[in-house]
A and B are shown apart, each in its own frame.
Chain A
């Protein structure tokens, strides 16, 4: 197990180099450069060229690449052009809101999705099943930017229950921090995530309930509660856990949209802004960072398998 984990962690290195290089090429091939953000609309080409020289953007691409790469292998992500601070520092600053929002969103998705799926399976083909699956379908189809704006209008403007946008750091005021993130996290968790989880849970529970060992358990005279929670669910949850793990990636993707709407200073907002401003170092750093989270989340899922299903071993 330990060897397996170490090996998986070592895989991170080539993945990050590959992702970094790919993003480097992609953003450098895209036309435009940071001067369109740093200088006003009306700046002349001469002013832009002077700025490029100051930023070292007049160098050939391979020179810029090797400069960036040599920094990267020393663990230095470089300095953001638009924020004028080290990229690693910018990422750490923006990690907190995104991380808390992702955890909240996943919790909301599980809290809605898993019980919903189980109830729908146990009451399958009844109107309860149909209502629950309709809600799931609604969550799956609804675009998260639309839901975000609607909920912001409802709870922020009309009802005035929650502050509309912004963020308070967790350590400054944990309650306020959660209040700020509740609606964005609900949007992320509900639209797409909870729906996928509940549909999958329903399908797996249904399938498991038809298995021989469930009949055996029942025939042993076990109570229905024990049959469902101890025998059926534990076996049915494995695919759901894969989905929850993979959801983290989707959540970071959704964070890009939701963070911009709710003005949350997280990784998603940094990504979008860096693309618009052609802030090469910040974008490369952020994508490498997200890739690392992806890999680590998948590793965590694989480790969880062992805990849930003792038959799985990585030795």
Chain B
């Protein structure tokens, strides 16, 4: 009997050791396999990443294309195709040294000529590219692997602009740039990335495979950069427009990863043995854009009344199915970000209809209807917010239209006073769309303009943060928009997908399949 017990203990130990070592083995990187990713849209508008900043385009495209710089795990700028850089003391001269022997997928070697041709195309096609190169007096090729930018004015966000992924400064071979000019490159996409494009059948799939001659950087992987390894042989991006089906596809292992899983199923998926759940972000925040050109809203008291009436928490509870998906914060940038600030916090999520009434009375509000425009995707926002405004004494005229219609209507200041939208989190405050006076909402404020300009020039973070805090304060005082809750992206992956790095944007280099 005793022997049996001893044997049992021995046997159990053996089992534990074996299971343990199997687990350790499973964590070892493994080459090979075919990774399948479920996309939330049935088609990708373009893989030519100079053309559009739509998220899904670079979530696929940046496996193929690379930029000179990218962002690390703290969203700070690090070199990628660039080896190193130097900024002159006056901040007007940037020297960038390129990595040598970096091969494009067509086997040509990347050099300064490719980089300059690509940057010029980027400036012609992308807004951020235009703004960046407009400030460049001279762009010279010093030798095959050195380029020099001479700026008109110092630009604190110069390198960041070269690093951002959405409609970023991706580098193509010069011949390709010359062949296509400003035209879309279709499926002739050639880059330096760890994967090359194999096949793109519109509406069916996009397939990329490992680029054997990829030359990674020589420092450890961090964020979107560092050493990239293509462990899987192939990645196929498949369209799954329905979120329930997308989630079921991960459960059954038909695909290994899917973004924007249905939040209503959060609890169930979290408990599922085949599924790993991830919350990415906050990815951005929900907001109501205020029309600065509206006659009714030209009175700051009325704008303040809207802000006082806003109950962000109620809107979020009604819009989102699970609390894991949203959070409340007065800061435009999420907690954990270097730009987090509580400036103006007292104005956030006031839920104070009495105060709103007082402000309206003070303003002498005459019952002119407030035109609230909502897209079908954010109906809950519109309906809840309408009720909150009515409780404060506003007369509200609401229209619900689908997204394409909203985008076209918001261009006409006569058609709306408020519209529901969302903003994605950006690496730098100067990239926030609503700070641009051309963005529908047309917020113009001399002090804001001055602060944004200062931020663009300044290099030192402390100074820049000071400017940003003042801008955020202004956002709450002048009310160009009403910030609601921060939202996260609920994404899921199959347990077979290993070493998945959960950043704001998805990527599949350095991940492997069990």
Q: What is the interface of chain A, defined by CB distance below 8 A to chain B?
A: 30-33, 35-48, 54, 82-85, 90, 93-94, 149, 152-153, 156-157, 160, 163-167, 260-263, 265, 269-270, 273, 276-278
Write 14 A-B pairs (CB below 8 A) sorted by A numbering: A32-B402, A36-B407, A37-B45, A37-B404, A38-B54, A40-B53, A41-B421, A46-B438, A48-B411, A83-B202, A83-B203, A84-B186, A152-B248, A165-B240
Contacts of A278 in B (CB 8 A): 404
Q: Are B440 and A45 in contact (CB under 8 A)?
A: yes
Contact of A164 among B127, B249, B439 (CB under 8 A): B249
Q: Are A166 and B254 in contact (CB under 8 A)?
A: yes
A37-B45, A83-B203, A260-B241 known; A44 vs B408 contact (CB < 8 Å): no
Contacts of B238 in A (CB 8 A): 166, 263
Q: A304 CA to B241 CA in the complex, in Å? A: 39
Chain B stretch 178-209: residues in CB contact (< 8 A) with chain A: 182, 184, 186, 201-204
Contacts of B186 in A (CB 8 A): 84-85
Supplied contacts A85-B202, A90-B202, A152-B245, 12 more A-B pairs, CB within 8 Å = A31-B404, A36-B404, A37-B404, A39-B53, A40-B53, A43-B127, A43-B433, A152-B248, A164-B254, A167-B204, A260-B42, A269-B42
Q: A43 CA to B403 CA in the complex, in Å? A: 14
Q: Are A157 and B252 in contact (CB under 8 A)?
A: yes
Most central of A156, A166, A270 by chain B CB within 10 Å: A166
Q: Are A82 and B45 in contact (CB under 8 A)?
A: yes
Which chain A residue has the least Cβ–Cβ distance from B251? A157
Contact of A40 among B52, B249, B403 (CB under 8 A): B52
A145 to chain B, nearest CB (A): 10
Q: A84 CA to B47 CA in the complex, in Å? A: 11
Contacts of A32 in B (CB 8 A): 402-408
With an 8 A cutoff between CB atoms, is B379 at the interface? no
Q: What is the interface of chain B, defined by CB distance below 8 A to chain A?
A: 42-43, 45-46, 51-55, 127, 166-167, 182, 184, 186, 201-204, 238-242, 244-245, 248-249, 251-252, 254, 401-409, 411, 421-424, 433, 436, 438-440
Contacts of A42 in B (CB 8 A): 53, 423-424, 433, 439
Q: A273 CA to B55 CA in the complex, in Å? A: 17
A45 to chain B, nearest CB (A): 5
Contacts of B240 in A (CB 8 A): 165, 263
Contacts of A166 in B (CB 8 A): 238, 254
Contacts of A43 in B (CB 8 A): 53, 127, 433
Contacts of B423 in A (CB 8 A): 42
A83 to chain B, nearest CB (A): 5
Which chain B residue has the least Cβ–Cβ distance from A166? B238
Q: A157 CA to B249 CA in the complex, in Å? A: 8
Q: Are B248 and A270 in contact (CB under 8 A)?
A: no
Contacts of A276 in B (CB 8 A): 402-404
Q: Are A263 and B245 in contact (CB under 8 A)?
A: yes
Contacts of B184 in A (CB 8 A): 84
Q: Are B202 and A165 in contact (CB under 8 A)?
A: no
A93-B202, A152-B248, A157-B252 known; A273 vs B46 contact (CB < 8 Å): no
Q: A262 CA to B239 CA in the complex, in Å? A: 10
Q: A48 CA to B409 CA in the complex, in Å? A: 13
Contacts of B411 in A (CB 8 A): 45, 48
Q: A66 CA to B254 CA in the complex, in Å? A: 46
Q: Are A164 and B440 in contact (CB under 8 A)?
A: no
Contacts of B201 in A (CB 8 A): 93, 265
A49 to chain B, nearest CB (A): 9
A44-B127, A160-B252, A164-B245 known; A38 vs B45 contact (CB < 8 Å): yes
Q: A47 CA to B128 CA in the complex, in Å? A: 11
B304 to chain A, nearest CB (A): 25
Which chain A residue has the least Cβ–Cβ distance from B442? A45
Q: A41 CA to B421 CA in the complex, in Å? A: 9
Contacts of A90 in B (CB 8 A): 202-203
A41-B422, A45-B411, A260-B242 known; A164 vs B55 contact (CB < 8 Å): no
Contacts of A83 in B (CB 8 A): 43, 202-203
Contacts of A36 in B (CB 8 A): 403-404, 407-408
Q: Are A44 and B436 in contact (CB under 8 A)?
A: yes
Contacts of B204 in A (CB 8 A): 93, 167, 265
Contacts of B166 in A (CB 8 A): 40
A73 to chain B, nearest CB (A): 26
Contact of A33 among B43, B55, B244, B404 (CB under 8 A): B404
Q: A248 CA to B135 CA in the complex, in Å? A: 60
A40-B55, A164-B249 known; A31 vs B408 contact (CB < 8 Å): yes
Q: A166 CA to B231 CA in the complex, in Å? A: 25
Q: Are A35 and B252 in contact (CB under 8 A)?
A: no
Contact of B244 among A30, A31, A54, A149 (CB under 8 A): A149
Which chain A residue has the least Cβ–Cβ distance from B167? A40
Q: Are B252 and A47 in contact (CB under 8 A)?
A: no
B52 to chain A, nearest CB (A): 6
Q: Are B439 and A156 in contact (CB under 8 A)?
A: no
A31-B405, A45-B440, A269-B42 known; A163 vs B433 contact (CB < 8 Å): no
